[in-house]
Amino acid sequence: MTDTPQYVLLDVQNGIAVLTLNRPKAYNALKIDLLKELDALLDRLEADAGVRVLIITGSGEKAFAAGADIKEFSDFSPAEAEQMARFGQSLFSRIETFPKPVIAAVNGFALGGGCELAMACHFRTASENARFGQPEIGLGLIPGYGGTQRLPRLIGRGRAMEMLMTGEPIDAQTALQWGLVNHVFPQEELLPRTRAIAEKLARYSSLPLHKIIRTVADGADDLERGLTAEAARFAECFATEDFREGVSAFLERRKPDFKDR
Ligand code: DAK
């Protein structure tokens, strides 16, 4: 880890750690260095007995995270893509089984990798302007950080299929209705209200909290097999012309012209 985290801010008060993804000009897009910082901060927070609950949120009022950084991953080879998918997946699985409760406070767009990060947290709150989506299809790609596995588990297969296949985002009220988030708050109340939930958890014994987290994760049917398949198929996309076209179109702000190859 760099000594001073650059992309993730950390604030610890009364046993509650707030991790803020901090690239607001790029809608907090998940650069690999940002994910590495997050991983290193998790080491620190796991070891610190004074930290009892984590909240992950985004900087600004626009985005939680608008996905992986498209500019960064656009020229990855399939081998690099698979390696990065496995790193991201293992980081997100680490969050899912983290020994202390982790709540995502989603303050705007949670798209692609951003939605996948929120889904890896133990549960989610959202601001009224939050939007959730897996827009990878528009880039000629599939989700690579667990989206094909966690989205159907959270909202059901049919709803997940529609979101994955259309790439269309859903708004906060739909996310609430579908069980993707537990609460929707006005933007200015999102952190204080989420903190109030965290404070309640912080008063409980950490032993059963940890056992709940582990036991719920143990019961998830064959997540690991699904993640392995996702990483392999995600990597295959990087060898296609359509993926190059999808990413170029996004960067050039035009509609993609896919050729099925
Ligand atoms: N990456 C990089 N920059 C991004 C970005 C992203 N995902 N999303 C937004 N930005 C940047 C924009 O480029 C723009 O920067 P400037 O041009 O001002 O420098 C700034 O954030 C504001 O964005 P917009 O100007 O587009 O703002 P709008 O309000 O008009 O639109 C939007 C907001 C969120 C609807 C739009 O920005 C958007 O569609 N963003 C992209 C959403 C998206 O497709 N996200 C990526 C999904 S794919 C991997 C594993 C997993 C993944 C990838 C690799 N490996 C293991 C290799 C996952 C992939 C994804 O997440």
Question: Does the beta carbon of 78 lie inside 6 Å of ligand 1?
Answer: no
Are 199 and 16 within 8 A, CB to CB? yes
**If pLDDT is split at 50, 70 and 90, which confidence band does 2 have?**
very low
Would the pLDDT of 1 be above 80? no
The pLDDT score that the predictor gives to residue 249 is 94
Rounded Cα distance, 29 and 140, in Å: 19
Q: Which of 116, 199, 224, 245 is catalytic?
A: 116
- Look up 61 and say whether it is catalytic: no
Cα–Cα nearest to 68, from 91, 43, 46, 45: 91
Are 140 and 243 within 8 A, CB to CB? yes
**If pLDDT is split at 50, 70 and 90, which confidence band does 3 have?**
low
Question: Does the beta carbon of 146 lie inside 6 Å of ligand 1?
Answer: no
Would the pLDDT of 5 be above 80? no
The alpha carbon of 222 and the centre of ligand 1 are apart by a number of angstroms equal to 31
Does the pTM surpass 0.95? The reply is no
Domains and CATH numbers, the chain: 2-202 (3.90.226.10), 206-251 (no CATH)
Q: Which of 136, 168, 245, 252 is catalytic?
A: 136
Angle at 41 between CA 37 and CA 43, to 5 degrees: 120
Nearest Cα residue to atom 4 of ligand 1 = 26
What distance lies between CA 218 and its chain's CA centroid? 20
Would the pLDDT of 141 be above 90? yes
The pLDDT score that the predictor gives to residue 75 is 84
Longest dimension (CA), the chain: 56
Q: Which range, 26-30, 142-146, 223-227, is most confident?
A: 26-30
Nearest Cα residue to atom 3 of ligand 1 = 26
103 vs 74, 86, 122, 221, 236, CA distance in Å? 30, 23, 6, 22, 32
What distance lies between CA 55 and its chain's CA centroid? 13
- Average pLDDT score over the chain: 94
188-236 tens-digit pLDDT:
999 999 999 999 999 998 989 998 998 888 878 788 888 888 888 888 8
